[in-house]
Amino acid sequence: MGKVPTRLVSWEDIVEWSRGLAIKVRESNYKPDVIIAVARGGFVPARLLCDFLNVENLISIQSQHWTEAAKAAEKAIIKFAYELDLSGKKALLVDDIVDTGESLILARDFILKHWKPAELRIATLQWISPVAKLKPDYYYIEVTEWIWFQYPWTRLEDTFQFMKRMISEEGKHKKVWSYDELVGKFLEWYEIDVGEKYFREAIRLLIEEGILELHDDMYYYRG
């Protein structure tokens, strides 16, 4: 996969969206005893929901589907499956976004079967309605056209993977890059500016992986 439509999401957006989501939960009169974060994308929203909803109990389940930015793995799996007794408890399962919905469906089914809460509802910041196999009970933003949201907690991971794809594609005809050329091409491809700190970190990872080599301030594609 090459160029993908991408939007940069800021920390401020996340706080605002989480607050908006919390208001929806509160207004529905659902008072969870426990919040369950879907690792890893649900961690920050779940923690913020604990704050906005005044919930003390926060636990986690790792359900993984996408292994790298904008590239889905074959299927979702529950990692580190453990037993827990949530009987009598109202739970709120929280994630960043429902895209295919595979990882949330898997997490929901696992929790209902093994942890047996009295009630389980699902809240996500975003819901990609045309592609999702699941509609969360609460969502803050409905997305009607697929896009990759570049969340602040995957900024380096995404920048690295996007840059890797860009270089391997462009590397067919361009082997030597300056820092400014790499950043310029990235901006042209993805139209998001992650800032110099993240560009430099991503380039450092590309060097570590042997994809780029640095000589006299120029980066050589070694793909």
Query: What is the Cα–Cα distance from 100 to 130, expressed in whole angstroms?
Result: 9
Shortest separation between residue 70's beta carbon and ligand AMP, angstroms: 7
Using only C-alpha atoms, what is the Rg of the chain?
20
Shortest separation between residue 58's beta carbon and ligand AMP, angstroms: 17
- Which one, 32 or 41, has the nearer CB to ligand AMP? 41
Shortest separation between residue 174's beta carbon and ligand AMP, angstroms: 28
Tokens of 80: 């580190």
Q: Is 143 helix (H, G, I), strand (E, B) or coil?
A: strand
Q: Is 45 helix (H, G, I), strand (E, B) or coil?
A: helix
- Which one, 97 or 194, has the nearer CB to ligand AMP? 97
Given the rule CB under 6 A, which residues bind ligand AMP?
41, 65-66, 76, 95-104, 148-149
Provide the residue type at 209 as one letter: E
Which residues have a Cβ under 8 Å from the Cβ of 163 and sit 6 or more positions away?
Answer: 182, 186, 199, 202, 203, 206
The DSSP bridge pattern shows strands 176-177 and 218-221 to be antiparallel
Tokens of 157: 């991971």
- Which one, 31 or 135, has the nearer CB to ligand AMP? 135
Shortest separation between residue 198's beta carbon and ligand AMP, angstroms: 16
- Which one, 98 or 206, has the nearer CB to ligand AMP? 98
Shortest separation between residue 223's beta carbon and ligand AMP, angstroms: 26
DSSP state string for 49-72: HHHHHT--EEEEEEEEEEEETTEE
- Which one, 55 or 126, has the nearer CB to ligand AMP? 126
Name the residue number minimizing CB distance to ligand AMP.
41
Shortest separation between residue 98's beta carbon and ligand AMP, angstroms: 5
Q: Are 15 and 47 in contact (CB under 8 A)?
A: no
Q: Length of the chain in residues, anyone? A: 223
- Which one, 104 or 203, has the nearer CB to ligand AMP? 104
